[in-house]
A and B are shown apart, each in its own frame.
Chain A
């Protein structure tokens, strides 16, 4: 029961923390609950599909189908997060000023919400498929301890949800004038970490053969196996043994985010001034 708790808990916090950040980032937007719930539900359905066709997926690309799928969905999430941050940079100020949603902002908000719903879906799909496979295996094996394992699994889901809720509550306790800054920094690092993870899957799948050996090892300082290490891994992309390609992807995403935000921020500021003078 404890083992199954640990496995399920681990996977659920990975997806749950992402959902927590998304919920905090969409605070004040109309219909965000429906988008996030829709994303999570779609992710769950996707996870069941991936689990059901795990064998067929694994056989693709000379046995590297699983890695291809992981790398692809991670990169989709990165692009969606970049998009959202650009949107937040151009609309954040107006949103912070008055949590009103009017005209163009509503439409842009829906696009951004959809992007974030996809991020939730992808997170749930990736981690959820592992939970589904694990619990399916337990159920299929018909072990005498199956009941205990299922209880452990359910407790794991509940525990992961509690940690994610704590993150969300922590984030929304931040005063509104700082919240946008904190969230865009967090989303930048989240995206950078996902890009680095994608590099690891590309290496594991055999597509990336250079810059793949670890540059350093800080697992004695903060192990990725520990709860804190795991949370840091998800939220800010902490890796105890990053390779050069992972580091490069991490830094590249941060650079792109900064450029995009600067560009979008200027555009938004310009539009804001035009409106003010009209």
Chain B
């Protein structure tokens, strides 16, 4: 059990460090998006290139889904009936696919950076 204590301590310290240095406020462009019946609305958004932005995703379905994008290099679970903020780093111009991993057949979309 000896290493359980330092591990817990480390975790607590790490968590605390993140708590006292909270993420910067939403001074970046925010794009609202809704997931309903496992479909994103809007499913295509256009964002400024080379600039940080965020997607505020409201999951209007009853079940959770994971906003997952290899292209955008993010993955985030948003619970049913909840809203999640997905922070995205500056993008070079191009098209970036994303999906709701749990319902990938219907939950798909594209971010276009211009």
| Residues of A in contact with B (beta carbons under 8 Å apart) | 3, 7, 54-55, 58, 60-64, 66-69, 71-73, 75-76, 79-80, 83, 110-112, 114-115, 118, 130, 133-134, 136-138, 140-141, 200, 203-207, 209, 212-214, 219, 223-225, 241, 243
Of A7, A76, A141, A203, the contact of B89 (CB 8 Å cutoff): A203
B52 contacts across to A, CB distance below 8 A? 209
Of A7, A62, A213, A241, the contact of B23 (CB 8 Å cutoff): A62
Q: Are B4 and A72 in contact (CB under 8 A)?
A: no
B104 contacts across to A, CB distance below 8 A? 3
Of A60, A130, A214, the contact of B77 (CB 8 Å cutoff): A130
Of A69, A76, A136, A219, the contact of B10 (CB 8 Å cutoff): A76
User: Once the chains are docked, how many angstroms separate the CA of A67 from the CA of B70?
Assistant: 16
Give A184 Cβ to nearest chain B Cβ, in Å.
Answer: 18
Q: Are B64 and A137 in contact (CB under 8 A)?
A: yes
A223 contacts across to B, CB distance below 8 A? 70
User: Once the chains are docked, how many angstroms separate the CA of A218 from the CA of B4?
Assistant: 39
B82 contacts across to A, CB distance below 8 A? 55, 58
Give B86 Cβ to nearest chain A Cβ, in Å.
Answer: 8
| Residues of B in contact with A (beta carbons under 8 Å apart) | 1-4, 7, 10-11, 14-15, 18-19, 21-25, 52, 62-66, 70, 73-74, 76-80, 82, 84-87, 89-90, 92, 101-102, 104-105
Identify the closest chain A residue to B83 (Cβ).
A63
Known contacts A133-B66, A204-B86, A204-B87; 19 additional CB pairs below 8 A are A7-B101, A58-B77, A60-B19, A62-B25, A75-B10, A76-B7, A79-B7, A80-B3, A111-B2, A114-B1, A114-B3, A134-B101, A134-B102, A140-B63, A141-B62, A141-B63, A204-B76, A207-B18, A213-B90
Give A236 Cβ to nearest chain B Cβ, in Å.
Answer: 18
Q: Are A64 and B85 in contact (CB under 8 A)?
A: yes
Q: Are A200 and B73 in contact (CB under 8 A)?
A: yes
B10 contacts across to A, CB distance below 8 A? 75-76, 79
Of A66, A72, A79, A141, the contact of B15 (CB 8 Å cutoff): A72
Given A140-B62, A206-B24, A58:B79 Cβ within 8 A = yes
Given A64-B23, A204-B76, A207-B21, A75:B14 Cβ within 8 A = yes
User: Once the chains are docked, how many angstroms separate the CA of A123 from the CA of B77?
Assistant: 17
Identify the closest chain B residue to A108 (Cβ).
B2
B2 contacts across to A, CB distance below 8 A? 110-111, 114
User: Once the chains are docked, how many angstroms separate the CA of A111 from the CA of B89?
Assistant: 40
Selected A-B contacts with CB under 8 Å, 26 pairs:
A58-B78, A60-B19, A63-B23, A64-B22, A64-B23, A64-B87, A66-B76, A72-B14, A72-B18, A75-B10, A76-B10, A76-B14, A79-B10, A110-B2, A114-B3, A115-B7, A118-B7, A133-B66, A134-B102, A204-B76, A204-B87, A206-B87, A213-B89, A219-B70, A225-B70, A241-B73
User: Once the chains are docked, how many angstroms separate the CA of A223 from the CA of B89?
Assistant: 21
Identify the closest chain B residue to A214 (Cβ).
B73
A55 contacts across to B, CB distance below 8 A? 79, 82
Given A58-B78, A64-B85, A205:B11 Cβ within 8 A = no
Give B15 Cβ to nearest chain A Cβ, in Å.
Answer: 5
B84 contacts across to A, CB distance below 8 A? 58, 63, 66
A75 contacts across to B, CB distance below 8 A? 10, 14
B63 contacts across to A, CB distance below 8 A? 136-138, 140-141
